[in-house]
Structure 1
Amino acid sequence: MSPPATPRHVLPVLVLAQFAGTSLWFAVNAVMPDLQRELGWATSAVGTLTSALQFGFIAGTLVFALLAIADRFAPRRVFLVCALAGAACTVGAWWTVRDYTSLLLWRFATGFFLAGIYPVGMKIAAQWYSKGLGAALGLLIAALVVGSASAHALRALGDALPWPTLMLGVAALAAAGGVLLYAALGDPPGAVARVSQLQWRALGTVWTDPRVRSSVLGYFGHMWELYTMWVMVPLILATRLSGTGLSWAAFLVLGAGALGCAGGGWVAQRWGSARVAGAQLAMSGACCLATPLMLGAPDLAFYAWLVLWGITVSGDSPQFSTLTARNAPPQAVGSVLTLTNSIGFGISIASILLFVWLADSVPLGALLPWLAIGPALGLWALRPLLAEERAPR
């Protein structure tokens, strides 16, 4: 007997709630130019505040994974509480925005509560979509990509929108997303019963289970490249653009990743998630290696290269999460996804710090090809799952 069809409203609610909740990520980044002009902060302040949030997210995902929060409590309740707490932290950041130390603490706390939004949203999707999970997560992470890229669009619109309005608006949006998901979605039929104790052995499958290890290590290679590429895009565009034109171009390049996520999810239903993830990882790695050639290319080729890179650097992410969710122990999917996020974001911070530091002394054409190390190692790790999907059934 086939499982009952998932109600049509579930996916739109998940996508809207995920977009609203993760908008907290870049609430301060979008208003930093105004704050820098008004308060005299250095350009490096945006990097420090971003790192504070990333470290908060790593701390949060580690705590949530080790305590099995998403598997011991109702995921939609965890999502609601964390969305409201993250919104409150953003209001706190607005209230104390002129105190830089307080702002750092509020951003760290915001990152901590995002651990109950991004990976928990994926856990909820995995509960509802036993089939078609790759397509569902493709749309879910596409929403995250658009939300991430929107910081550049907001920057371009900065003259029309005062920074307090932006910060408070993002807080209200996140809170609304948490309420929407909690009110509109019940528990899915056939959901795995919540555990009452910590799942140490289940967390260990990140290393001990060959399938989980393959998808997780592939994801780690992806994370070495992803956020560093996002940080470097404005520097690449600055070789040809400036001002508002640069901000809109950055939004389009990074936002193109939503096409890779959504389109990859659609193709994965026919090809399989491992093959889609591998193809996009290979293409983004090739874009890294093409940097020396493309920096001096004509405008058409230059912008086409950046858009292709933007599409593929993000597009493999939902398929790695799909593979991990499918192969992890059912009673610990939320914890395994959360632990994987924690380690992946730790890798991304190391990569960002290294490449930003080297960018002061190494030309972009010589530096950025080294980002291909991540995709290369990711493809190597993904081999068992690729072979499994290619095998005749």
Structure 2
Amino acid sequence: MNNKEYKWIALFIMSVSELMVMSLWFSASAIAPELATIWDISGIGTLLVTLMVQFGFVAGALISASFGLADKINPRKLFSFSATVSAMLTIMFVFLYHYFFIEMILMFLTGIMMAGIYPVAVLIVSSWFPTRRGLALGIVIAGLTFGSALPHIILNLPFIREWKALLEFSSLLSILGGVLVFLVLHDNKKYINAPKFKWDTINLIIRNKPVMLANYGYFGHMWELYAMWTWIPVFIFSSFAFYYSGSKLLFMAGIVSFLIIGVSGAIGSILGGIISDRIGRTLSTSLYMGVSGTSAVLIGLTYHALPFITIIVGIVWGITVIADSAQFSTAVTELSSDKIRGSALTFQMAIGFLITVGSIYVINILRTTIGWHWAFSILSIGPLLGIISMIRLRYKNESLLMCNGKK
């Protein structure tokens, strides 16, 4: 089988493996209420379960890129190693759940290992797809979104009777995903060199106006994305409690959360890549952010409304909030020189994930002060600023470097 035929098999393997491993990312967040009871904490203490993973991912991305680990270690083996260690850390979380501070360290370490999952998957798939890369990366991100939402489905499986079982099952999936890549995926002899982060290029990145405009668009996108993913299940549960109770409420909240984050996100990731390749980066991302920002305002108005109204707005939001994700990184690769490209990508990712910490925390404050009707509205600021940045980028001569001149 030649490379042209095998690349689609490689894409399938990586997407399925990504789905399995990424189920770990939000597993602990999905059981935050149970953990809060065990630890006797509330507020920021509960949020730390999610935030420590975010901090760990930023640290892991910087460490991996600074030392060029994906250049020194076979990417297939690095992915498998990271997936296995992430699972082991999660199993340790199950056994040591009484010790809050140890658990936070384990969450941070899990985040570090996650930096060997998503970026490495992108690297592997990019090596197989010198063309049609937008679609291929969209499918990979679809696996990421599907996997991130998977805990909400796992919780409703008949054999998952307590929170520990969710973490154990997600760990098993992560190990299987790592084994699948290690044993089944073939190595590509034409691996793309992993981008290295060079600290002395930060000034060059900041002074590169087209690259920074693409970054600002990404920053606005990230302000919205992970806060939405973190809090929409809580919003759905609280809103649907007006109509359901008990096990039916848990079931409905889990299914709808999975539909909005996972299914809708997967559709948005794939469509986003296809549409962007056809109409250009700046126009497509502006359209996605316009719809997602509007949805961030409208979703609160459906609070305690008929569930099907909330579901419809949620699906639209779930599709558009992720559709532009891969396009910002692609734009940076097209706008930056070889000298700063790797550092620019790492800079974009690190700042973007740090921003998610702020927006996740802000929603926690607003939901208890002004209530769910308007809490999500603050997220619309990100897409608004992102649209402004991408429109400004569209009218720069350098924008012709993107998407074969489609800007």
**TM-score, structure 2 as length reference:** 0.83
Moved more, 181-190 or 291-300: 291-300
Q: What CA distance in whole angstroms lies between the structure 2 residues aligned with 1:392 and 1:356?
A: 40
Offset at 1:50?
A: 1.3
Offset at 1:294?
A: 4.3
Q: Does the C-alpha gap of structure 1 residues 9 and 336 become closer, same or farther in structure 2, counting only changes over 3 Å?
A: farther
Post-superposition CA distance 1:246-296 (Å, at most 9, x none): 222222222211111122223233223443322111110121233565447
Q: Which amino acid aligns with 2:295?
A: C
The residue aligned with 2:115 is 115
The residue aligned with 1:252 is 259
Q: What CA distance in whole angstroms lies between the structure 1 residues aligned with 2:35 and 2:303?
A: 32
Query: What's the C-alpha RMSD, in Å, of the aligned pairs?
Result: 3.1
Q: Does the C-alpha gap of structure 1 residues 374 and 185 become closer, same or farther in structure 2, counting only changes over 3 Å?
A: same
Q: Which amino acid aligns with 1:220?
A: F
Q: What CA distance in whole angstroms lies between the structure 2 residues aligned with 1:361 and 1:194?
A: 45
Q: Does the C-alpha gap of structure 1 residues 20 and 328 become closer, same or farther in structure 2, counting only changes over 3 Å?
A: farther
The residue aligned with 1:102 is 102
Post-superposition CA distance 1:207-228 (Å, at most 9, x none): 3444432322211100111122
Q: Does 1:29 align with 2:37?
A: no
Q: Does 1:380 align with 2:388?
A: yes
Q: Does the C-alpha gap of structure 1 residues 217 and 184 become closer, same or farther in structure 2, counting only changes over 3 Å?
A: farther
The question of whether the paired residues in 2 share the 8 Å contact of 1:156 and 1:247 is answered with yes
The residue aligned with 2:233 is 234
Q: Which amino acid aligns with 2:272?
A: G
Q: Does the C-alpha gap of structure 1 residues 81 and 360 become closer, same or farther in structure 2, counting only changes over 3 Å?
A: same
Q: What CA distance in whole angstroms lies between the structure 1 residues aligned with 2:300 and 2:99?
A: 42
Q: Does the C-alpha gap of structure 1 residues 7 and 155 become closer, same or farther in structure 2, counting only changes over 3 Å?
A: closer
Post-superposition CA distance 1:33-77 (Å, at most 9, x none): 55556x364454542211222221122222223333334543333
Q: Does 1:322 align with 2:336?
A: no
The question of whether the paired residues in 1 share the 8 Å contact of 2:24 and 2:148 is answered with no
Question: Which of the pair has the greater relative contact order for Cα pairs under 8 Å at 6+ separation?
Answer: 1
Q: Which amino acid aligns with 2:390?
A: L
The residue aligned with 1:88 is 88
| SS of equivalent to 2:7 | coil
- List aligned pairs for 1:1-393, cutoff 5 A: 7-35=7-35, 39=38, 41-42=40-41, 44=43, 46-157=46-157, 160-192=160-192, 199-200=198-199, 206-237=205-236, 238-241=238-241, 243-244=249-250, 245-255=252-262, 256-291=264-299, 293-295=301-303, 299-329=307-337, 336-383=344-391, 385-387=393-395, 388=399
Give the count of matched residue pairs: 389
Q: Does the C-alpha gap of structure 1 residues 163 and 353 become closer, same or farther in structure 2, counting only changes over 3 Å?
A: closer
Post-superposition CA distance 1:131-187 (Å, at most 9, x none): 111111111111111111122223344774444433233223222322322333444
The question of whether the paired residues in 2 share the 8 Å contact of 1:65 and 1:336 is answered with no
Q: Does the C-alpha gap of structure 1 residues 131 and 118 become closer, same or farther in structure 2, counting only changes over 3 Å?
A: same
Q: Does the C-alpha gap of structure 1 residues 205 and 171 become closer, same or farther in structure 2, counting only changes over 3 Å?
A: farther
The question of whether the paired residues in 1 share the 8 Å contact of 2:299 and 2:310 is answered with no
Q: What CA distance in whole angstroms lies between the structure 1 residues aligned with 2:36 and 2:368?
A: 21
The question of whether the paired residues in 2 share the 8 Å contact of 1:31 and 1:158 is answered with no
Offset at 1:236?
A: 3.4
- Taking only the aligned residue pairs, the percentage that are identical comes to 30
The question of whether the paired residues in 2 share the 8 Å contact of 1:277 and 1:319 is answered with yes
Q: Does the C-alpha gap of structure 1 residues 114 and 264 become closer, same or farther in structure 2, counting only changes over 3 Å?
A: same
Q: Which amino acid aligns with 1:252?
A: L
Q: What CA distance in whole angstroms lies between the structure 2 residues aligned with 1:306 and 1:198?
A: 37
Moved more, 10-19 or 153-162: 153-162
Q: Does the C-alpha gap of structure 1 residues 325 and 126 become closer, same or farther in structure 2, counting only changes over 3 Å?
A: farther
The question of whether the paired residues in 2 share the 8 Å contact of 1:80 and 1:178 is answered with yes
**TM-score, structure 1 as length reference:** 0.86
Q: What CA distance in whole angstroms lies between the structure 1 residues aligned with 2:31 and 2:308?
A: 31
Q: What CA distance in whole angstroms lies between the structure 1 residues aligned with 2:163 and 2:56?
A: 23
Q: Which amino acid aligns with 1:302?
A: T
Structure 1 unaligned spans of 5+: none
Q: Does the C-alpha gap of structure 1 residues 275 and 356 become closer, same or farther in structure 2, counting only changes over 3 Å?
A: same
